[in-house]
Structure formats: C-alpha cells, structure tokens
Chain A
Amino acid sequence: MPCLEEFYDIVVVGAGHAGCEAALACARLGLETIMFTVSVDSIALMPCNPNVGGSSKGHLVRELDALGGEMGKNIDKTFIQSKMLNESKGPAVHSLRAQADKQDYSREMRKTLENTEHLTIRQAEVSEIIADGGKIKGVKTFSGAAYYSKAVVLATGTYLNARCIYGEVSYATGPNGLQAANHLTDSLKANGVEMFRFKTGTPARVDKRSIDFSRMEEQFGDKKVVPFSFSTDPDMIQKDQVSCWLTYTNEKTHDIIRANLDRSPLFSGAIEGTGPRYCPSIEDKVVKFPEKERHQVFIEPEGLYTNEMYLGGMSSSLPEDVQHAMYKTVPGLEHVKIVRNAYAIEYDCINSRQLKPTLEFKAIEGLFSGGQFNGSSGYEEAAVQGFMAGVNASMKVLGREQYVLDRSQAYIGVLIDDLVTKENHEPYRMMTSRAEYRLLLRQDNADLRLRAIGHEIGLVSDVDYERTLKKERDIEREIERLEHTNIGANAAVQEFLIKHGSTPLKTGATLAELVRRPELDYVMLKELDDKRPQLPYDTVEQVNINIKYEGYIRRQKQQVVQFKKLESKKMSADFDYSSVKSLRREAVQKLNLYKPASIGQASRISGVSPADISVLLIYLEQLRHGEKKY
C-alpha cells in the first residue's frame, strides 16, 4: 500500500517541555528536525501547576538556560509573579519560582518553534518505531506514514496509554482531555523495551468569581524580580505582578475525605500505577498524616486572561460529588464553582535504567528519550532531559562526542545519573538533597559552571559566552583584591564593626576576613572600602558567596576531585562482569544487568560494595597493562 514517506535527520516525538527543548536543540544545531504532537494547540502545555521553578527545579531551569535551552527565556517572557524561595537560607538553596500565564507560555514557545529554521511541526500520533538490527531507522504514524531519520527522541510525557480517573469515572485520554497515544507502547515492547506504569494527579480549577479572598492570606511576588535566563536584562522584566492566596483545609474537610475513602480509586485498587510521594493527593495526606489538623492550599491564577484558579495542595481522584463537598469546607471556597475536576492520570513510561547517561537506549542505537516518558515528573525535569537527549541525538548524527554532565557539574547530571542508575519506583522529582555537591551547584553560578559547555555544543552565542568569561575575570580579580586589602584597626573601622554587632579588631585584617564574618557581608563593607570597583549585582553576589563560604566550598571541591577519579574510569557496554572472578555474585548480576558507563556509576548501583569497586579497579589495571604488552 502506498504511503507517505519523508526523510529527516532527527524525529522528536512529543511537543511538551521535553519535546520542545529537544526539537529546538536539534534544529538550532542545523539538523533537519520534525516534531510530532497529538495536538498543535497543546505545544508546551502546562497541564498541572501554573508555575515554573521552585526548590531545585529553579536550579534546573537556570542550568538549562546556561547550556542554551529555551525554558528560562520563555518564562521570563510570560511570568505574572516571581519569587526567590529560601532567601533567608544559604545560597545553595535559593531557588527561583515564577507563576506563568499558561496560555501565554504555550503561545510564546510555539512562536519560537515556528520561527526556528530546520524545524517542522506535524500533528499526528506516532504509533511505531522503526528499528532494524538494534538501530533506529525512524517512526510510523497511526495513519501509516513513515518518517525515516538518523535518530529519534521520544518525549511522550504522560500520553502513552493514558487514563484519567476520578471516583468511578475513567476516560482513556491524556491530560486535559487530550487524545492519548495508545499504540506506541506495543511497538516499544515488541522492540524489547521494558515499561512501567506510573501515576500522577492534579487538583481542580475553579472560577475566581466564586472565591472569597477576604478569608485568605495574600501572597505577593518579590519587589525586585530576578530573571531565570542569564541572557535576560533584569531591568526589562520588572512589572506589576498578580497575587496568589493561601488558605487551609480543616477537620471538616478531612472528615469528608475519610468518609469517602472507599470511593477513591487510589484506595479501592482501581489505580494500578505508582504515584509520587512528594505531591500526594489530599486524600493521601489525610491518610498518611492523620495527626495534621490542617493542610495548606495555595490558590494560584492560571493566567491573566482567565478566571480559572489552581487549587495547589488539593489534587485528588475522589468522585465529583465528594470533590465539591470537600472543596466547599475550605475557608474562602464555601461557594466555589469548579471549572475542571481534579483527576489522577495513569500512563506508561520506561524503566529508565535501560538508558545510557547520554539518554540513548543501550539496546537501540540512535533512539533517545527524555521527560516523563523516562519516569520523571515536573516540567523542569522534563525540559532538561529533552534538551540533553536532543543535544546527544544531534551529536550522534553529526559524528561528534556526546555530552554527559556528571553529579559534580549540574543538577541535570544528578537527575540523569539517578534515573539511569538507581531503582526508581515513582515519578522522580528533583530535590536539593539529592545533590551531594549542592554548595557548588548553586542556581547563581549556573552560567559559570555551564556556559562554556553550551558554547562548545553550539547553542550559546559568542556574545553570551564572552559575557560569562568577563564575569569570571571580574570575580577573580575582585576576590584577589579583597584578600590583599588590609584595613587597620582605626576608629572608623572599630565604630563600623560595633555598629554591626561585630567584634572590634585587635590588629589589622583584610577585607576578605571581614566579609567572612557571619554578621557582615560584601555589600555592607562598602563604607570601609573606598577603592571598590563598580560591579554588576550578579558579580557582587559571586564575590560575596565565594569568600563567605570558602571553607565549605573548598571541602566540597576536594570531594569532587575524588569523585572524578572514579567517574573518569570508563567501562565498556559489552564488558562481561562474570569474567571477574572475585566479584560477589550479587554485584556481577547487577553490573551485567545495568552495564554502567564508568566505575563511578558502578559504585552507585545498589548491591555493589566498595570492595567490589576495588576489585574492578584492579581488574581494569591488569587489563590496561595487558593491552600494552600485547
């Protein structure tokens, strides 16, 4: 039967946050790229929370931006409120979060995609992958058309065999009633891909006019907005912001939930997928934490030109009537009108340990994947994986070296390493506690960490890169100056110190020593520092942090040196671990199953002990010398 056939360099399946970043990266690197979506109107859709960033997710967005991704720029264009979280805590855990105008976000991203050369957008359901001899050849759509390519990036999100559920009601649709993709799973399974079934959920959206805000606390944005993107001029984005609102559930709410638990598909067993522990439904919270008298509910606008409000904290899959009753017990929501019901969604995703750290399938060359399809959750987690998958698919096609960020370089590295190394039974969410070197992986220095890599990939312009290099030089020079500027214990200095609750000096001190004092900082010390150069705010921030936390930072840098040693010892994917006699059996099984890319990755596989790693090191050494000899 004749059918449509087309040829591309790269096929991207999906146009959510992962798909958009993947497609943009590929096309911007000059590769002919086609991107599939079940609905062009749902490009860069935010089907759940109306915000971008948050603790550790803000880090991901900034890292993505430093590498040349789009998410940071897009949210800078479309935010309606912005906040730096954890400002009272250490710099490592400061995190940006912005409320988005959802439609605007989607529209701006679509505009960017549509204006990118080498990028084709096509509305169709991809139903098959075409693979031959362990190599990807392209994809087929449900209509029978074939799209041949050198690489494929899968970013199907929550659409595979998706099912939306509340109470006894269940629809075979993707999020927001969009068409599900019901065929690709079978094709993947036929090609030997192991699938999992995960679940997540979303709260109801309600009509703003039916809310009594006088019974809630107003939550404002920051006075001075910090942009996500290192390319955005902060002065250009200061604007009026909308508010969010805070209210609480109470015992009445909880009573209604408890009385109707038997009607919840989560507890009746109608839902088989594994849900995320970090964003539990309200019924989960009530069951798991019975001692809590109330739970917070954040009322967040979905955009500037809609009355819909998002009820953050109250996702649910309880029946419609229970939802209405329970929401109405919350102060301010007594007369609430629901626009869209809360629901849970189940979908197919993969066991991500089938992937290399490059996000390429170990068993199918040229097939890459990113986003919720890989078992993660969240827009930001999806976007960074889509980007890395897109970059590495491009590198593959271009015959260039692929990129793997390690755990000491970026949260992106931690995220992907966790996904491809550790056992994962629920949608994976980023958290700052997952990053062992978080003092080094700050959101404020993402450009200093990653701009050079983005530039080398080819997605960061010379101008942007040059700006980072200059910043680096400025920081270095200023720290040097502070370390070598002595100030005497004169009357003015002593008076300054006493005024700020700091111990007066016995002898002279350098300015750096004073910056290090907990009660002082770089900005405050301006009075004592008449030779201070005029520096941009983000340079000042780096100088202050680097001097203040120098001891801790040095400690982590030493740990990183050790970490890198094992990371740099690469393992071949066809190495047979059963040939190493002294390894324990459990270690052999795990290592043969997951084929780690390096000794470092091997050391993080559960069931592999430090002694096994020592044994492997010796074996490698023997191998290395053996090769030399023969």
Chain B
Amino acid sequence: MNHTDTIAAIATAVSSSGIGIIRISGENVCSIAEKIFRKAGNKKWDMTDSDHKVVYGHIYDGDEMVDEVLMLVMKGPHSYTGEDTVEIDCHGGVLVMKRILETVIKYGARPAEPGEFTKRAFLNGRIDLSQAEAVMDVISAQNQYALKSSMNQLKGKVSEKIRELREKIIYEIAFIESALDDPEHISLDGYPDKLKSKLEPMIREIQRLIDSSDNGRVMKEGVKTVILGKPNAGKSSLMNVLAGQERAIVTDIAGTTRDILEEHIRMEGISLNVVDTAGIRETDDVVEQIGVSRAKEAARDADLIIYVVDASVPLDENDEDIIKLIESQKAIVLLNKSDLETVVTAKELKKRTGQKVIAVSAKDETGMEELEKTVRNMFYEGEIDFNDEIYITSVRHKTALTESCTSLMMVMESIDLGMPEDFYSIDLMNAYEQLGSIIGEAVEEDLVNEIFSRFCMGK
C-alpha cells in the first residue's frame, strides 16, 4: 500500500443533504485540481495565492462542465491529513458527487480506502495520540465492512465474470512464465499473436462491465423504490411497462399480486430497484394478508415510493391508509388509468398528499417520460436519500476495472511494438490484481500454483 499517493473520497454522507464534499489528499492534489477546476467564466486557475482560500468556479472533465462548486485549497502540513488537500463543495445530489469523484480519479487520484484520511492525519501527526486506539478501530472495522459490502453488492453474474477473466489471465501469465523458466521445454513461438486474439474479447468484456457499472447494472442494489396502491390500481401493469416485460401477473381481478415482486430498472442512468407490492386493502385471505404486511414493511424501508391511484374509482379507506404511509417519505403519485373516465383529479390528490402528481396510463404507456424526468430530477437534486456505501464501492470497482482494461491494452501495445514476452506478464499481472481487488481476492501463491498445475516443467 502506498502512503503518499493521492486519494479521494466523498466526505459527506451521500444523501439529500444540500451540499456534498469531495475530499482529495496527497502529493498530486494541486496538479489534479488545476486540471479539473476552472474559475467562473471558464477561466484557467492555478494554485498561486490560493492556500486556505475558498474559490468559486466549475469542475470540468475535459470540455464538459460537471458542476458548479466552491473549492477550498489547503497546503500541507496545515490540513486535516497534513498533506496538500483540496475540498470540493458541490450540490448534494448523488450523481453529481459520484461524477466529480470519478473525474478526480480520472485525472490521477485513486479511491481512498476506508479510514485512509484518518490514518494519514494520524501518521502525519494531525490527530492527538490519545485517539490512536479509536483510529485503529475505525480502520479495522471499516475495512471489514467495506470488503463484505463490496462482495454483497456485486451481482453474482458479475463476480462470476470477473473470476472467469482472472482465470484466463493467470493462465496466460503462467504459460509465459513457465516458458521463461523452462525455455527448452516450452516454446513461445507464435504465441504473441495467439495472445492478442485472446486479449481482444477480454478487453471487450471488461469494457462492457465498465459501461454497465455506469448505469448500475453491476450492482445488486439501486435506489429502493416501492410501488404502492390498492388492489387493481395498475401497479403490476406499471411495473411491466417500466421493466419492459411481462413480469407480474396482470389480470383484472383485484388481489392478483399476492407477494412482492422485485425488478431492477434503469431510468435515465439511475438504477432503481423496484418492488411491486400486493395491493393494500383490508382482507381476510391469509396469503394476501402476508403480502399486505410485507408491502407496508417495504414501504417503510423505501428510498422512494411510487403510489399508484386508480383515477376511475373514488378514493376509499385503503387510499387513506397509503396516504398516511407516505406522509413522511419521498413519493411520486401516479394518477393511473387517465385513459378512462376519471373521478379523481390531480389537483385533489396533490392537496391530499402534498407530493408530486403525474397523470399516466400504464395501458397506453403515456406519462412515462414525465415520470422518468421527475425521478431523475429528484435524484440529481439530492432529494432521494439512499444507502451511500453502494456508490462509493461502485467507484472503486469502476476504477479497478478501468485499470485492468488499461493494463490489457498495454499488453496489446507491447505485442504490436515487438516487446519481449516477459514484459507482457508485468501488465497481465497488474490486470489480474486489479480484478482481484473487486472480488476481494489476493494474489498470494496463485501464479506458482498455476504454473505447476498447468504446465509440465523441468528436469
């Protein structure tokens, strides 16, 4: 582990707080800040005279403006960590913070390990010695938690893919190394071209993983969204429209959905984990009762509730229950069946719930665009609160994927340049290690074991 390179992390809770802070610390802080920050009016900015001052401007990724920010520059040793440090205050929205963090990483920082800022602060004498015990506990506990959550959040299929990629990579390294170790038994004639043809699909595969990490497909969890509504209000139809497939059983018999159904949906680059619930109504059916209580529970845990109202029938006591349930939560009210004759109006609902109301028709698929736009805005503006660990982990995963991809491309380049084969294994090993960091596997004796088990060596 490196102890002076540049690290970055979101320093505030990734939540609906109005302001988010991205903290960067380490030896390259200033050069990174100079690359991504421009003063108002797109003016270049440099470190001169900025120490311990707040500057106003924008973060840029190349020519693309990312966000309007305030930036605080602190030269070491007079900073929290004792190193050169920059803090970027941005709008509190999750995507904005994540985007800024990714930009900082793209220009030379790496995602901080849990507790790493605190560790540096301590090692640089910025934290009172009496707090050492606490610091050690934080690092130990956070690391164990992070490792666990990293694994938990990875979709089974994704970790399987990464494992497959690693197996392929270590096989190639082992082959090269056994040939270097035992050149009289194992020949590398014609191998570079073969390796190239094997690397191409691997690079594409990693590229796909990187792309999908952007829209949340890599992660199991997204924003937990729950669809509520009384029976036959059209929840399942809505979910089917959102998911783009017949997933829930849709009939016109009230109470068809007896349990909760889950679906993962991407909307404008936001990952929603949509839970369709059984309709909420007073019922004697035992099975349905279970469904109802689960629905209520899910609603309480939700980051966002989508409340579906049947516009063609008047509000009843079931609706009253739901309105009470969503009182203190982020919610969007959908006035469904707006294609039929309506007896409930948007205005009335807005007054009753105090939430945003959108008229839709799940059957005709109208109003969906507006729904997506609304969700997106709530998300960007930080109105939606949710588990922040996920996004931090996803940045780490993406960084590791990107690095492994770069390493494999460097192997391709070495092949094209006619570099000797032993140089390939340096970059292959780096790709292997990076992928391993995602699924929490270290290298240890992998290579030596692979060499001996795959290739017949020696005397």
Binding site for B on A (CB under 8 A): 49, 55-56, 85-86, 88-90, 92-93, 203, 277-280, 285, 288-289, 292, 295-296, 298, 312-313, 315, 422, 431-434, 438-439, 518-519, 552, 562, 565-566, 580-584, 603, 606, 609-615, 617-619, 621-622, 625-626
Cα-based distance from A110 to B459 in the complex (angstroms): 27
List B contacts of A619 (CB < 8 A): 132, 136
From B122, B173, B180, B447, contact of A93 by CB (8 A): B180
List B contacts of A434 (CB < 8 A): 448
Closest chain-B Cβ to A96's Cβ sits at a distance in Å of: 13
Do A296 and B185 contact each other (CB < 8 Å), given the known contacts A562-B2, A617-B123?
yes
List A contacts of B451 (CB < 8 A): 431, 433
Q: In the complex, are the beta carbons of A614 and B420 less than 8 A apart?
A: no
Stretch touching chain A among B159-167, B360-368, B421-429: B421-429
From A85, A583, A606, A617, contact of B119 by CB (8 A): A617
From B122, B140, B183, contact of A582 by CB (8 A): B140
List A contacts of B3 (CB < 8 A): 562, 565, 617
Q: In the complex, are the beta carbons of B420 and A289 less than 8 A apart?
A: no
Q: In the complex, are the beta carbons of A552 and B423 less than 8 A apart?
A: yes
B1-55 residues with Cβ-Cβ distance < 8 A to A are: 1-3
Q: In the complex, are the beta carbons of A582 and B136 less than 8 A apart?
A: yes
List A contacts of B181 (CB < 8 A): 55-56, 278, 431-433
> Which of B1, B183, B184, B459 is most buried by chain A, counting CB atoms within 10 A of its CB?
B459
Closest chain-B Cβ to A283's Cβ sits at a distance in Å of: 13
List A contacts of B1 (CB < 8 A): 562, 566, 603, 610, 613-614
Cα-based distance from A48 to B363 in the complex (angstroms): 83
List B contacts of A93 (CB < 8 A): 180, 420, 422
Do A621 and B444 contact each other (CB < 8 Å), given the known contacts A55-B183, A292-B456?
no
Cα-based distance from A92 to B177 in the complex (angstroms): 12
Cα-based distance from A369 to B266 in the complex (angstroms): 64
List B contacts of A280 (CB < 8 A): 456-458
Task: Answer yes or no: B418 CB below 8 A from chain A CBs.
Answer: yes
Number of interface residues of B (CB under 8 A): 49
From B143, B421, B426, contact of A611 by CB (8 A): B143
Q: In the complex, are the beta carbons of A625 and B129 less than 8 A apart?
A: yes
Closest chain-B Cβ to A401's Cβ sits at a distance in Å of: 27
Cα-based distance from A89 to B116 in the complex (angstroms): 41
Q: In the complex, are the beta carbons of B136 and A580 less than 8 A apart?
A: yes
Nearest first, the 6 A-B pairs at minimum CB distance are A611-B143, A90-B420, A582-B136, A277-B452, A279-B459, A622-B132
Binding site for A on B (CB under 8 A): 1-3, 113-116, 119, 122-123, 125, 129, 132-133, 135-137, 139-140, 143-144, 173, 177, 180-185, 188, 417-423, 425-426, 444-445, 447-448, 451-452, 456-459
Q: Which residue of B lies closest to A616 (CB)?
A: B136
From A603, A606, A626, contact of B129 by CB (8 A): A626
List B contacts of A622 (CB < 8 A): 129, 132
Q: In the complex, are the beta carbons of A433 and B425 less than 8 A apart?
A: yes
Cα-based distance from A152 to B129 in the complex (angstroms): 45
List B contacts of A279 (CB < 8 A): 457-459
Closest chain-B Cβ to A60's Cβ sits at a distance in Å of: 14
Closest chain-B Cβ to A170's Cβ sits at a distance in Å of: 22
Q: Which residue of B lies closest to A559 (CB)?
A: B2
Q: In the complex, are the beta carbons of A86 and B183 less than 8 A apart?
A: yes
List B contacts of A603 (CB < 8 A): 1
Closest chain-B Cβ to A424's Cβ sits at a distance in Å of: 10
23 pairs across A/B with beta carbons < 8 Å? A56-B181, A86-B180, A88-B420, A90-B423, A203-B459, A279-B458, A313-B458, A315-B459, A431-B177, A433-B180, A433-B447, A519-B418, A566-B1, A581-B133, A582-B137, A584-B140, A611-B140, A612-B140, A613-B1, A614-B119, A618-B132, A618-B136, A619-B132
Cα-based distance from A626 to B2 in the complex (angstroms): 25
Closest chain-A Cβ to B441's Cβ sits at a distance in Å of: 12
List A contacts of B459 (CB < 8 A): 49, 203, 279, 312-313, 315
Cα-based distance from A312 to B113 in the complex (angstroms): 51
Q: In the complex, are the beta carbons of A296 and B184 less than 8 A apart?
A: yes
List B contacts of A56 (CB < 8 A): 181
Q: In the complex, are the beta carbons of A615 and B425 less than 8 A apart?
A: no
Q: In the complex, are the beta carbons of A552 and B426 less than 8 A apart?
A: yes
Do A432 and B448 contact each other (CB < 8 Å), given the known contacts A289-B456, A565-B3?
no
List B contacts of A431 (CB < 8 A): 177, 181, 448, 451
Known: A285-B456, A584-B144, A611-B144. 19 other contacts (CB 8 A): A55-B183, A88-B420, A90-B423, A203-B459, A277-B457, A296-B184, A312-B459, A313-B459, A433-B177, A518-B417, A552-B423, A580-B136, A582-B140, A609-B143, A612-B140, A615-B139, A617-B123, A618-B123, A619-B136
